[in-house]
Chains A and B, each alone.
Chain A
Amino acid sequence: DGGITQSPKYLFRKEGQNVTLSCEQNLNHDAMYWYRQDPGQGLRLIYYSQIVNDFQKGDIAEGYSVSREKKESFPLTVTSAQKNPTAFYLCASRRTGPQNTEAFFGQGTRLTVV
């Protein structure tokens, strides 16, 4: 079945460690997105990518990094520079083109710093 897979579902990280969240899609979508969700703050955009080997900072990119070496994959690294990384992270993808299309989401990764 086509869709977006995020892994792992739950992730625990020690302070000072980098950690990478995986996002894979087999929908042949060009655009991919990473959002962070905190209670009462909705979804905030971290990074997004329109095509392979190109990505843009979103509204809260500090302390995060991404890569887009393959169309299907858009991993997010939460670095030790991120002051408060405990949150729910959502990855999304969407088809681009003349018609606007909705974003499809993965099931999310809940990251906890211990």
Chain B
Amino acid sequence: AQKITQTQPGMFVQEKEAVTLDCTYDTSDQSYGLFWYKQPSSGEMIFLIYQGSYDEQNATEGRYSLNFQKARKSANLVISASQLGDSAMYFCAMREPGGYQKVTFGIGTKLQVIP
């Protein structure tokens, strides 16, 4: 069963607008971590933001914020004031519960910022 679900294969956003990328996850455990990564066309993976399952506040890093709704098992990424350089693939990932430090990724969302 898929642990991380990203249902938006592609998204468009106008420059300077905000955009939300969806991510839902599946776990019955209480302790886990959620991550978002950006992958430009160059292929490198860039860490954006992290949310722990016990964190009471939504994580924020500059223009990135994570809308964490634990009861709905969703961890959506919000990018404010989009820039052309934000055009990339975006991946949601989860550090699964358990002692083996397993980290699994979703299939990603391709974001294109339009001038």
Contact = CB atoms under 8 A, between A and B. Distances in A.
**Is B one of A's binding partners?**
yes
B50 interface: yes
B43 A88 contact: yes
Interface residues of A, number: 28
Contact of A107 (B9, B33, B43, B108): B43
A48 B47 contact: no
Interface stretch (B11-19, B67-75, B98-106): B98-106
Nearest to B31: A100
Indicate the member of B35, B93, B102 with the most A CB atoms within 10 Å: B102
B66 to A, nearest CB: 13
A101 B58 CA distance: 16
Contacts of B9: 40
B81 interface: no
Interface of B: 6, 9, 33, 35, 43-45, 47, 50, 52, 91, 93, 95, 99-108
